[in-house]
Structure 1
Amino acid sequence: MRRAESVTFGGSGLNRAAARRGDAAWQVEALAGGRVLPMWRGKPLCDGTEALAWVTAESPVLERTGARVFLGLDGEEAVFAADVSSWEPGAEAEAAEAGFFDPSVQRHPALAGEKGFRELRGVMATLTPREAELAATARALLEWHRTHGFCAACGARSEVVQAGWQRHCPTCNAQHFPRTDPVVIMLITRGNSVLMGRSPGWPEGMYSLLAGFIEPGETIEAAVRREVMEEAGVRVGAVRYLASQPWPFPASLMLGCAGEAQTDAIVLDPVELEDALWITREEMVSVMAGTHPWLKPPRRGAIAQFLMANWLADSLD
C-alpha cells in the first residue's frame, strides 16, 4: 500500500539514536540541553488540542518524576519523556474519568495557558507526524515501565537501563525489553460490503473493523482468518497485508489487512462482539461523513478509519 506510512503514529523518520542509549555521560548532557514530554497516567502534556507541550529538565513539573526515557533526536535536539503520574491534581482540578475515553484535562499549577494533560486518543489526529510518533513512543515505554518493575525470571525488582529501553535484574542478571503485541485488524469485504462489529461496552452507534491478537506460532494471514471466524462466523479466503500502526494503548502494533469473505452469514461470539453487520459502500460514505442515522464515524487517527477511507477511495493498492 503506497500510502501506508501516512497513518497516524506512522513513520516520521525519527532518529532514535540507539547507539547513544548506553552512553551515560552523553545522556546527562543531552537531558540538560534537551526537552522533556511529561506524561501523567498515560496522558501527554499538550498545548491546547493541536500540539504537545515540552518542558526543560529543570521544570517543577518534573519534581516527582518516575521513569524517564530517551526518545531520540528531533533534528539535533535530544527529546525525552518523563512519568509524572505521582503528581496529584488539586481538589479544584478536573477528575480523570474512567471508561472508553477520558475527556478531562489536568492542569499543573506550574504551567500557564492552555497546557494540560490530555487523552492521546483525543489529540492524535491533530499532532504532526513527528509529535504523534514521539507521543506514541513515550506512552508505550512509560506504561511498560509502570507494569514491568519486577523481573519475570526471579521476581526481584529490576532497574531501568539503556536510557529507558531496557530493564536489568541485579539479582539474576536477566535482561528485559519493551514488549509490543501484534494485533491484526481486517477490512473484510464481500462484494460491495465491509464487515463491521462492536464490542460490548462501546459507546452507542460505534462500530469498527474486526481485530484480534496474533497467537504464538501463527502467521498474520492465519490470525485474520481465525479471528473473523471466531468472532463473526465468517470464512475468509485470500488475505493481504496493507499497513501497520503503533497503537500505544498500551503497546500494540496494529497490522492492517484486507480479506475476502467466502461466506456472509454472521454467527456472533457474544463474549467478543455485541453485534456485527455488513455495511455497503454507499452506507459507508454517509458513516464517514457523519450523516448516517445511527452509525457513528470511526475515530480520526485510528487505522480502522484509515483503511475504510482508502477502501472508499479505491486506494488500497
Structure 2
Amino acid sequence: MRESTPPPLARARLDRDGATRGLPDRSARFDADPEARVLLLHDGRALLTELVEGVPPVLDLRSPAEAARAIDAGAGAVELRVYLGRALDDEGLASSGAPIEVWAIDAAATDAIEAEAARWVGLRQAAPMLSDRDSGLFTQAAAIVNWHRASGFCPRCGAPTDPIESGWSRRCRNDGGQVFPRTDAAVIVLVTDADDRVLLGSNAMWQANRFSLLAGFVEPGESLESAVVREIGEEAGLEVVDVAYVASQPWPFPASLMLGFTARAVSAEAAASVRPDGEEILELRWFSRAELAAALPEVGFPGRTSIAGWLLEQWYGGPIESSPQGWGA
C-alpha cells in the first residue's frame, strides 16, 4: 500500500520561497521580472489554455504586465495578490525558476482577460487534465485564496484584517496581531477485513449507488490514529486495528488536508456486523476486487484525482474506470 509517488494534488514542483515573502519590495521585483507569471483565479476557477483536441490544456499563466493591462482596460480589479513561490526544474532546483503569484480577480477582470467562459475551470474539473505542476499550483492558489475570503476579520476582536507577508498572513487593524492560514485535518481510511475486502460507504449527500472510503475530521486534542478508530466506529459501528498512515493530500474545498490511512476490521464477526450510522452514512458494503469490478459501471467510485480514488486503486491493483455517477475529483 505504501507508494513512493504521492497522491494527486500533492505533487507540486514549487519552491514556496518563504524567505522572501516579507521583503518590502517583493511585489515590485515580481512585476519587473520578465520571467514572472500570474495564475488568474476568480470564484475558484482558473484560466486554462484553449482546448485543442488531443492536446491537454495547461494553466494560462500571464506576465504581470499583460494581466494588468487587460484588467485595467476592462475596468476590472485585482482583489488579492499572493506570492506562491518559484517553479522547480526537473532536478528540483529553483535557481532559474519563474516566480509565480495568484491574483484573485473580480468578474469584470475575468471578462476582460478571457470572455470565453469555458476556459475558466474549477479545480475538480481541471485537475484530471493538468500536469502535476499545474494541478499543484492550482491547489495551492485555491487553498490560500479560500483562507483569505474567510479571514477578513480578526478572530479575537472582530476588527478588519489586511494581507501581509505576500499574502501568507493577515494583520488586525485594531491590535496589530497576526492571523495565519489554517488547515482542517481529516482522516480518510481504507478499511479491509480478513479476506482483504474493502469497506465503502454511501454518504447521505450523494446520489444513489455512489460509494467511497470513510472519512472524518480530526477533533481538537485528538491524535490521527484515534480519529481513525473513532470515525470508523461512529460511521460503521466497526472496531479497527492495525491503523497505518499512507500519504496525505491537500483538498482545498475549502481548506482540508486529507490524511490517508489503512486499517483492518478487528474480527470476521465485527466485519459481518457493520451498520451505517443512518445520518451521514446511509449504506455500507464490503467489496472484493471481483465484486468491485462487477459493480462497474452501475456503481460510482471516487475518481483518481482524489486520495480516496488513489488509495482505492492501490488496493485494487489498477485503474478503476468509474461510471458517470462517480465524480471527477
Contact kept, 8 Å, 1:168 with 1:174, in 2: the verdict is: yes
Match of 1:251 among 255, 259, 266: 255
Counterpart of 1:101 in structure 2 is: none
Counterpart of 2:172 in structure 1 is: 169
What amino acid does structure 2 have at the position aligned with 1:28?
A
Counterpart Cα distance in 2 of 1:45 and 1:277: 40
Shift of the alpha carbon at 1:29?
1.4
Match of 1:51 among 55, 58, 67: 58
Counterpart Cα distance in 2 of 1:110 and 1:144: 24
1:237-262 CA-to-partner distances (Å, cap 9, x unmatched) read 11000011011111111100000012
Counterpart of 1:92 in structure 2 is: none
Shift of the alpha carbon at 1:170?
2.4
Counterpart of 1:277 in structure 2 is: 285
1:70 matches 2:73: no
Counterpart Cα distance in 1 of 2:281 and 2:186: 17
Counterpart of 1:29 in structure 2 is: 29
Unaligned runs of 5+ in 2: 88-93, 319-329
Counterpart Cα distance in 2 of 1:307 and 1:221: 17
* Number of corresponding residues: 292
Contact kept, 8 Å, 1:4 with 1:244, in 2: the verdict is: no
Q: CA RMSD in A?
A: 2.1
1:141 matches 2:141: no
Counterpart of 1:187 in structure 2 is: 190
Shift of the alpha carbon at 1:18?
0.2
Shift of the alpha carbon at 1:215?
0.7
1:25-75 CA-to-partner distances (Å, cap 9, x unmatched) read 133211343111111111121223632111222322473111110000014
- What are the equivalent positions in structure 2 for 1:258-273 lying under 5 Å apart? 258-262=262-266, 263-264=270-271, 265-273=273-281
Counterpart Cα distance in 1 of 2:47 and 2:24: 26
How high is the sequence identity, in percent, across the aligned residues?
Answer: 35
TM-score, normalisation: structure 1: 0.86
Sort the Cα spacing of 1:140 and 1:2 in 2 relative to 1 into closer, same or farther, 3 A.
Answer: same
Sort the Cα spacing of 1:203 and 1:51 in 2 relative to 1 into closer, same or farther, 3 A.
Answer: farther
1:146-186 CA-to-partner distances (Å, cap 9, x unmatched) read 11100001110001000000001121121111111111000
- What are the equivalent positions in structure 2 for 1:153-164 lying under 5 Å apart? 153-164=156-167
Shift of the alpha carbon at 1:201?
2.5
Match of 1:42 among 18, 41, 44: 44
Counterpart Cα distance in 2 of 1:61 and 1:4: 42
Counterpart Cα distance in 1 of 2:241 and 2:125: 36
Counterpart Cα distance in 2 of 1:44 and 1:83: 9
